[in-house]
Amino acid sequence: MKIEWKLKAIKLANHRYAYRMRVGSYRVLFNILETVEIISIEEVRKRDERTYSV
């Protein structure tokens, strides 16, 4: 699987999702299941002070 998008994704620490990626004023929070080559988009949120609160 080509993973060029990974260059734009940021690894999260101590969060229920492994990565985030900026898409305009939104942040896409997601996990990656590399063994089956699936990217599971779990949430898309507008960025504000509550975006990363668990």
Strand partners, 43: 29
For the record, the structure tokens of 39 come out as 């990217």
Residue 22 placed within a domain:
yes
In-domain check, residue 24:
yes
What is d(CA 54, CA 34) in angstroms, rounded to the nearest whole number?
24
Q: Longest C-alpha distance within the chain, in Å?
A: 34
In a domain, 53, yes or no: no
In a domain, residue 39? The reply is yes
Question: Which residues is 38 bridged to in the sheet?
Answer: 33
Domain count, the chain: 1
Domain of residue 26 covers 4-46
Q: Is residue 51 part of a domain?
A: no
Residue 34 lies in a domain: yes
54 inside domain: no
Is 52 a domain residue? no
Q: Which of 35, 37, 32 shows the shortest CA–CA distance to 10?
A: 32
User: 2-24, pLDDT tens digit by residue?
Assistant: 556 666 788 889 888 888 888 88
Q: Which position has the higher pLDDT, 20 or 41? A: 20
Across the chain, the runs of DSSP E, i.e. the strands, are 9-11, 19-23, 26-33, 38-46
